[in-house]
Amino acid sequence: MLTEAHKQAIRRSWQLVEPIGETAADLFYKRLFELAPAYRRLFPDDLAPQKRKLLAMLKFIVRAMDWSDDAWRDTVDVDEDLFLVVLALGRRHVDLYHVPDASYDAVGAALLWTLDYGLGEAFTTETRDAWARVYGLLAQTMKMGRCARGEGSATALRANDG
| Predicted pLDDT at 2 | 85
Long-range contacts of range 119-128, CB-CB < 8 Å, 24 or more positions apart?
119/13, 119/16, 119/17, 122/12, 122/13, 122/16, 123/13, 124/9, 126/5, 126/9, 127/9, 127/10, 127/12, 127/13
Q: What is the CATH number of the domain that holds 91?
A: 1.10.490.10
Mean pLDDT, residues 43-48 taken together: 95
Say how far apart CA 49 and CA 36 lie, in whole Å: 20
Domain that holds residue 35: 4-66+74-159
Number of domains in the chain: 1
Quick: pLDDT tens for 74-84: 666 666 666 77
pLDDT at 157 over 50: no
- Judged by average pLDDT, the poorest of 2-6, 16-20, 111-115 is 2-6
